[in-house]
Amino acid sequence: MINIAIDGPAGAGKSTIAKAVAKSLRIIYLDTGAMYRATAYFALQNNIAVNDADAVAKMFENFNMDIVYEDGAQQILVNGLNTTPYLREHYMSKAASDISALPVVRYKMVDLQREFAKTHDVVLDGRDIGTFVLPDANCKFFMTATPEERANRRYKELLEKGQEVDYDTLLKDIIQRDYNDSHREVAPLKQADDAVLLDTTNMTIDQVIEAVKKVVEEKVKLEKNEPSGLVPFGKPSSEIPPETMKRIKTYYKSPKGFGLYRFLRVLLRPLQCILWPTKVINKENAFKFEGGLYLCNHYSTFDSLIPIFTMFKKEAHILAKYELFFNPLAGGILHKMGAIPVRRGEADTEAVKAVFRVLKDDKKLLMYPEGTRNKQGTQDMAELKTGAARFAIKMKKPIVAMVYFRPTKTFHKNYLYVGEPFTLEEFYGARTNEEFHEATEVIRRHFDEAREGVNAYVEGLKKKKSKKDKK
Ligand code: DC
Residue nearest to atom 5 of ligand 1 (CA): 33
Cβ atoms 49, 159 nearer than 8 A? no
Residue 72 pLDDT: 76
Q: Residue 221: its pLDDT value, please?
A: 53
Angle between helices 167-183 and 90-100 (to 10 degrees): 20
The Cα-based distances of 211 to 194, 197, 318 in angstroms read: 16, 11, 32
**pLDDT for residue 232:** 35
Residue 340, pLDDT score: 86
| Whole-angstrom distance, CA of residue 129 vs CA of residue 124 | 7
**Considering Cα of 126, then 132, then 136, then 140, what sign does the dihedral take?**
positive
Residue among 389, 387, 405 at smallest CA distance from 445: 389
Ligand 1 neighbourhood includes 127 CB (under 6 angstroms): yes
Give the orientation angle of helix 433-470 with respect to helix 387-394, to 10 degrees: 110
Q: Which CATH number fits domain 243-470: 3.40.50.1820, 3.40.1130.10, 3.40.50.2300, 3.30.500.10?
A: 3.40.1130.10
Is the C-beta atom of 10 inside 6 A of ligand 1?
A: yes
The predicted pLDDT at position 167 comes to: 94
- Asked if 408 and 303 touch (Cβ cutoff 8 Å), the reply is yes
* Closest approach atom of ligand 1 to CA 124: 18
Domain boundaries, the chain: 3-224, 243-470
Listed as ranges, residues in the chain with pLDDT below 50 are 222-236, 255
Is the separation of the CB atoms in 49 and 217 below 8 Å?
no
Residue nearest to atom 18 of ligand 1 (CA): 126
CA of 97 to the centre of ligand 1 (A): 6
> Are 170 and 162 within 8 A, CB to CB?
no
97 in ligand 1 pocket by Cβ < 6 Å?
Answer: yes
* Ligand 1 geometric centre to CA of 7 (Å): 10
SS (H, E, C) 166-193: CHHHHHHHHHHHHHHHHHCCCCCCCCCC
The class level of CATH for 3-224 reads alpha beta
pLDDT of residue 398: 96
Residue 408 near residue 276, CB atoms below 8 Å = yes
Strand, coil or helix: 272 = helix
Question: Cα(101) to centroid of ligand 1, in Å?
Answer: 10
Transcribe 205-238 into DSSP letters: HHHHHHHHHHHHHHH--GGGG--S-S-S---BGG
pLDDT at res. 327: 81
User: Which of 19, 87, 100, 190 gets mutated to test ligand 1 (max ligand atoms within 8 A of its CB)?
Assistant: 100
